[in-house]
Amino acid sequence: MASRRVTIRDVAREAQVSLSAVSLFLNNRAGLSDATRQRIAEAIESVGYLPRLTNATSPTSNYLGLLIERLPFSPFNDMFYGEVIQGIEAQARLLHYNVTLMLLSNGEGLSQLMQRHGDSLSGMIMLGSGSINEAVVESALHEDFPVVLVDNDLRFTRAEIVVPDYMSGAYNATNYLLDKGYRRIAFIQGPSKYQSLVTRFHGYCTAMIDSGIGLDPALIQEPISTGVPNKGYREIKALYERGTSVDAIFCVTDRTALGALDALRELGVRVPDDVALISFDNIAQAGHTTPPLTTVNVPKAELGGFAVQKLHDLIHQERPFPPVKSLFATDLVIRSSA
């Protein structure tokens, strides 16, 4: 059986330095003491590391990994993450990085992906949650690999985190409906494995409790559209089939609201005359529905660009600093649906 190829992680472990320090050494960049350079050089010889040959215009150290959960569709076509990825790509170009897409499947661990890509990467952005859980993040951090999480607010992690303020966004959106006089406000949930969607639900719950109205279980619709293109369609049908009295609906995402609009139209329920509809994300389609959606705006491209800058700073920092959670403000975009 062929022996495992030696990587820069082996060098970093032998020299007792970070991966970014090895990358600086291999590319003859500033930021390392003479003693550290000597230790890395000795480690390279000790473990038998052979750097990959690359052309002058595309050095391996200028690659960033973009880790995303494998979805039924391309992440570039996703209504939300497509804009985040555009922001990542734009900032990466400004900083002279190339981006390598890495799709994480349920049956594949990060270690398998890292064996194929890890030694050519300077750092990694992990976008979204789902399969990207604490175990995945910790496996990268254990190797002292620079990591920034985007749209994934894991509670117990040592990674840098960049997330929208989902809690206040949902709280303020719910209060907007309450201020307009709506009291029977239903909430269409998303899959619980996505922490960002759970946080939005918590924002709704907190606003309803703070208002003194409280929570009515009949108004909370669990997700039942896994794998169905029009998320929200079956949920609305289920909500109305129960005979629940509703005067407003909060959809956890704009994509959910698109399906909800189709279902309400079929049921003969007029928006906003019979029921108000509000959602979250402000994807490009939100302003072109009938009626246009009132929704919470998330600065998607800004999230991606900021994450790349954070990762760049993390790669080149001379000494470790405590991880920081960067929280991006959201704002309500008022249109005709509520």
Q: Which residues pair with 331 in a beta bridge?
A: 297
98-125 average pLDDT score: 72
* Pairing outcome for strands 325-328 and 98-104: unpaired
Per-residue model confidence as pLDDT tens digits over 66-95: 988 876 666 666 778 889 999 999 999 998
pLDDT at 69: 83
pLDDT at residue 2 tops 70: no
- Of residues 163 and 133, more confidence is placed in 163
Beta bridge partners of 294: 278
Rounded Cα distance between 180 and 214, Å, is: 17
Name 232's Cβ contacts closer than 8 Å, sequence gap at least 6. 188, 225, 251, 255, 256, 257, 258, 259, 260, 263
User: In sequence order, which residues have a C-beta less than 8 Å from that of residue 296 and are 6 or more positions away?
Assistant: 169, 170, 172, 173, 278, 279, 280, 281, 282, 330, 331, 332, 333
Domain borders along the chain are 8-47, 60-164+300-331, 166-297
Mean pLDDT of the chain: 85
Q: Are 7 and 49 in contact (CB under 8 A)?
A: yes
Which of 22-31, 181-190, 299-308 comes out lowest in average pLDDT? 22-31
Pairing of strands 160-164, 248-251: unpaired
Taking residues 106-111, what's their average pLDDT? 62
Burial class (CB in 10 A: 0-12, 13-18, 19+), 98: middle
Is residue 106 within 8 A of residue 131, CB to CB? The reply is yes
**Pick the residue with more confidence: 233 or 136?**
233
Contacts of 9 (CB under 8 A, 6+ apart): 19, 114, 118, 119, 143, 145
Percent with pLDDT over 90 in the chain: 49
Q: Are 65 and 125 in contact (CB under 8 A)?
A: yes
Task: Kindly tell me if the per-residue pLDDT of 52 is higher than 70.
Answer: no
CATH fold of 166-297 reads Rossmann fold (3.40.50)
Please write the tens of the pLDDT for every residue from 33-46.
878 888 888 888 78
SS3 296: strand
- Please give the residue that has the higher pLDDT: either 132 or 211: 211
Q: Which of 142-151, 226-235, 275-284 has the highest mean pLDDT?
A: 275-284
46-50, 227-231, 232-236 — most confident range: 232-236
Contact between residue 239 and residue 269 where contact means Cβ atoms under 8 Å apart: no
The candidate with the shortest Cα–Cα distance to 111, out of 139, 146, 71, 142, is 139
- The three state secondary structure string of 250-277 is EECCHHHHHHHHHHHHHHCCCCCCCCEE
Listed as own residue / partner, the contacts of 30-35 with beta carbons closer than 8 Å and 24 or more positions apart are 31/316, 31/318
Say how many C-beta atoms besides its own lie within 10 A of residue 17's C-beta.
20
Lowest mean pLDDT among 19-23, 57-61, 208-212, 282-286: 57-61
pLDDT of residue 227: 59
> What pLDDT is stored for residue 46 in this prediction?
82
Q: Which of 18-22, 97-101, 197-201 has the lowest mean pLDDT?
A: 18-22
Rounded to whole angstroms, what are the CA distances from 138 to 7, 40, 99, 120? 19, 24, 22, 20
3.40.50.2300, 3.30.465.10, 3.30.9.10, 2.40.128.260: which CATH number matches 60-164+300-331? 3.40.50.2300
Q: Which residue has the higher pLDDT, 63 or 300?
A: 300
Residue 143's pLDDT band, with cuts at 50, 70 and 90, is low
pLDDT for 56 equals 36
Q: What percent of the chain has pLDDT over 70?
A: 84
CA-based R_g, the chain, Å: 23
Quote the pLDDT of residue 54: 40
Q: How confident is the model at residue 279, as a pLDDT?
A: 98
Distant-in-sequence, close-in-space partners of 199: CB < 8 Å, separation ≥ 6? 153, 166, 167, 170
Asked, colleague to colleague, whether 60-164+300-331 and 166-297 share their fold, the answer is yes
* N-term to C-term CA, the chain: 64
Predicted pLDDT of residue 197: 94
Local confidence band at 187 (pLDDT 50, 70, 90 cut-offs): very high
- DSSP summary character for residue 226: T
Q: Is pTM beyond 0.85 here?
A: no
Bigger pLDDT: 109 or 293? 293
191, 193, 151, 142: which is closest to 169 by C-alpha?
A: 151
Give, as one character, the DSSP assignment of residue 133. -
